[in-house]
Each structure stands twice: as structure tokens, then as C-alpha cells.
Amino acid sequence: MGNTNSSVIPTPTKTSFDDKDEMLELADPLSAMHIAQPLSSDGSLTLGHIASWEASSSTDPKIRLARTIFSQSDIRSVLSSRSARIADQHIFNHVLDFKTGPITNQKSSGRCWLFATTNVIRYGIMKRLKLKDFQLSQSYLFFWDKLNKSNYYLELMIEHAELPIDDRLITHLSGDLISDGGQWDMVVNLIETYGLVPQSAYPESTHSSLSGPLNALLKTKLREHALILRTLADTLRSAHVREETVMATLRAKKEELMKEVYNIMTATLGVPPNPNKRFVWEYIDAEEKVGRWEGSPKDFFEQFATKPFSPVDSFSLINDPRNEYSKLYTVDKLGNIWGGRPILYVNTEIENMKATVVRMIKAGQPVFFGCDVGKFSDRDAGVMDTAFFEYENAFDIKLGLNKADRLQICESAMTHAMVISGVHLDPSGKPVRYKVENSWGETAGKDGYFVMTDAWFEQYVYQVVVPKALAPKDLVAVFESGNKIVLPAWDPMGALA
């Protein structure tokens, strides 16, 4: 049940060639590399390079046409594939049997993971109560997440106060320290601790929908707080104060500083409902009948969001080709609630993830998933398709990175969370495309919905969340084993959707 560090690729040892055969084996791959002398021996870029390249490019009709067109047009609109637009129809032969609404809009914030979570959970609530329109309060979870991330960061600064200020870990943690984004296990932490409320009980505010100004102010204060705590820790330890007293003093000071964070957040977002205090929720169902419910946010979660599948009993499958499959992974120093549930991923083959999505849709369960939404996707058309933009043909290039390459070289990571609510299967039962509910409002895609091709799923989907009851049993066993491999804090799997 212990943590094990991720494996490190060993440094290659120097090789000596003792016979002619080994030299001949090396000669063939080297000759295939077309080794040539550079125009610049010191690596600088010269006008000679430009003249050489231009001499060949200026006579190429394809390049000349590209220069005429692309200097005056957005390459994404010009190079969108007509055949892909025709093929990527918003038609699905397996969809959820109840349609939720309205299409949500996270606006100018990075709360997609909270919108995706609440869009999954509201499905059962709306179906049970026969509601036409309903939203859970994303702002309620946003408030508690931001407050806890602030505390989490300051606790890490206390824990690692002895590290130099320019240590890679301190620099990383002090970067985007209270990101709007998050992961599935983070939202489970929030729901278990604070419950859920309808949006009418804690509605949107200017700064929940426009989080940038609030984040900027909080980051400034929290970085200042971090330096205050580091200085205090150094002063106390230099005076040889007992370690228990040091920690108690630092936490008391942190709590004093956190009050400033709380005051900023309540002023900009409003005071949230107390998780344990009762409130009244009144609603109108599809038959225009008025309903009434009374209870606490934690009661609301227990009564409305735990059946048929509780979020607490769901976990993340990921597809990370860099690392071994059928293993449990976590990311160091990643979280929101201090001492809460860790972020856990079970790494598996992409076909297992696809089969899990199909199984969930057939069981009537919407699917939370994490992906890199900015790659080969068109917001207006609502299409995610690796064949949607004809870059290779237009520029006479080959885009040769595979999924593992993209992760290793920082070309791709999870950037967005959405919900799969349908799938189109071919006659053999294989998925062709997926229906995706986004949180960018009704003007994005087709009335707020996107179509994602199976090829795009393979390349740019990294995570799906599945209830244990619908997951492959061998992967449930991996999750429940607790034998997790710890990835570095800066690993791309630590990216927050």
C-alpha cells in the first residue's frame, strides 16, 4: 500500500566498438540520416540561409499559392476540410434517454471541470423530479475550491519552507497556484465536504463568471503570504524553537492570513450557504407543478446525487502511453483540500476507455471526460476531428508526433473537461463519433453540443470518469489496491482541466 516513485530512464552508457561488425551495424543508420555540413558552423541564422531557402521556395507553385492565400486569411477557416464537415454529422444512434437543459456557460472562467461535474450530476436530479431547466451551483463549488486551494498552497509553503526560493518545486507551486481548473478527485473532495446546492441558492456573480481579476489579486496576496511564512519559519528555527511550536506558530499565522483571502472572496463572490445549515429550495417541474425541498447542502448531495451512482464511487481512467498500463498513478503535491482524497488515475489502453464510454451511455450514464480541446477542433462548427484541418497538404509538411511524444514535449495535456452524452456505433459495434455537451453556451457548436470523432478520441482524450459498478473489474482492483506510482508535480498528468 505504499507509494513508489516513477521509473527514470537510465542514462545510456558509453559504448566501445571492439570489432568491425559493430562499426558496420552503426554505419547503416548513420548513412540514412543524410549527415551534411551546416551552412553556419556556429549555429547562427544567416542571410545565406534565407537566400538558400527562398531560391527553392519562390519557384514552388504550391508555396506561392499558399503565400497569396494565407497572408490574408485565418488558416483555420481556409483549411477546414469540406469532407470532414460532411462526415462529422451530429447524428448518434445511442444517446441518453433524457435531455437536460439549459446548455451551461462557464463564460470567462476556467471552471469547465465543475460544469462538467454538475452537468453529469444534474441528469439524475432532473430526470427524477421531471424538471425542464435546472442547474446546480457551480459558483458554490468554485468558492470552496478557491478557498481550499489557497490554504493548500500555504500549507505546502510551510511544509517546504526550508527549500531555496528558486527551487524547482517552489517555483512550480508558486506559478499558477490557484488555477480555476481541477480534477475529478478534487470535486469529490468538495462535494463530500460541502455538499451541493441548486444554482438559485448561490447564483453566479461577476467574478465567478469573470475570474481573472479575482485570481490576480489572490495570487498577489498568497505569494506575499508565502514569503511571510517562510521568513517566520526561518526566524523560529534559527532561534532553535521546538519543531512542534514552530508548526503551531506557522499555522496560527497562516490562519490569520487566510482571513484576508476569505474576506476578498466573500466580497467578490458572496457568502456561500453553510454546508450544515438548512435552506429551502422551491422549483417548478415540467407539468408546471411547484415543488419544495428543505435541508442542508450536504443533505441535498446525499438525497439527490448519490443514486444510481455516487460521485464518491467513481474514479478516473487515463490513457497515458508514456507510462505502464494497468497501474495506479498520482501526481505529487496536487490537490485542493488539505488532507483530502488524492488525485488518482488508473492508466489503461485507449480501447478500454472507449468500451467504458459505450457501456456507460448504454446504461444511461453521462460521462465526464478530460481532453486537449484546442487541438484540431472548431468552436463554431462544434467539431473535434484530427482530419478537420488540412495543414499537412497546405504546407507540405508531416505532423509526426504521437500521443506520447506530445505529452513528453509539452505539446499536449488535459485542458478541458466536458460530458459525453451519446455515441454513434457502426454495424460491428465500434464507435465512430461521440456526442459532447460543452459549457461554452448555446452559440458554440450545434446549440452547445459538439461532435467528437473516434480518431480524435484516440489522440486527444486523456481521461474518462467511471462508476466502479460500470468499470472493468481488473481496473477497479488496480484503483482499490492503493499501490500508486508518484509522478512529479510538474508532470503533464497534473494539468488541470
To the query of whether residue 240 is one of the catalytic residues in this protein, the response is no
Residue 9 has pLDDT above 80, yes or no: no
- What is the distance between the alpha carbons of residues 113 and 119, in angstroms, rounded to a whole number? 10
pLDDT tens digits for range 440-466: 999 999 999 999 999 999 999 999 999
- What is the distance between the alpha carbons of residues 56 and 385, in angstroms, rounded to a whole number? 33
Reference 225, options 294, 320, 299, 157; nearest CA is 157
Q: What is the pLDDT of residue 432?
A: 98
Mean pLDDT of 135-147: 98
Mean pLDDT of 424-442: 98
Pairing of strands 431-437, 416-425: antiparallel
pLDDT tens digits for range 348-393: 999 999 999 999 999 999 999 999 999 999 999 999 999 999 999 9
Q: Which of 148, 189, 215, 438 is catalytic?
A: 438
Considering the chain, what is the average pLDDT of its residues?
Answer: 94
To the query of whether residue 410 is one of the catalytic residues in this protein, the response is no
pLDDT tens digits for range 259-310: 999 999 999 999 999 999 999 999 999 999 999 999 999 999 999 999 999 9
Cell numbers representing residue 424 in the block? 454513434
Q: What is the pLDDT of residue 408?
A: 98
Q: What is the pLDDT of residue 36?
A: 82
Mean pLDDT of 237-260: 98
- What is the distance between the alpha carbons of residues 292 and 284, in angstroms, rounded to a whole number? 9
Q: Which of 105, 112, 151, 189 is catalytic?
A: 112
Residue 21 has pLDDT above 80, yes or no: no
Cell numbers representing residue 73 in the block? 486569411
To the query of whether residue 112 is one of the catalytic residues in this protein, the response is yes
In angstroms, the Cα distances linking 463 to 257, 286, 369, 437 are: 36, 34, 5, 16
Q: Which of 119, 148, 319, 416 is catalytic?
A: 416
pLDDT tens digits for range 42-76: 999 999 999 999 999 999 999 999 999 999 999 99
User: For residues 236, 242, 246 and 249, what is the CA-based torsion angle, rounded to 10 degrees?
Assistant: -100
Given a contact cutoff of 8 angstroms between Cβ atoms, the answer to whether 355 and 317 are in contact is no
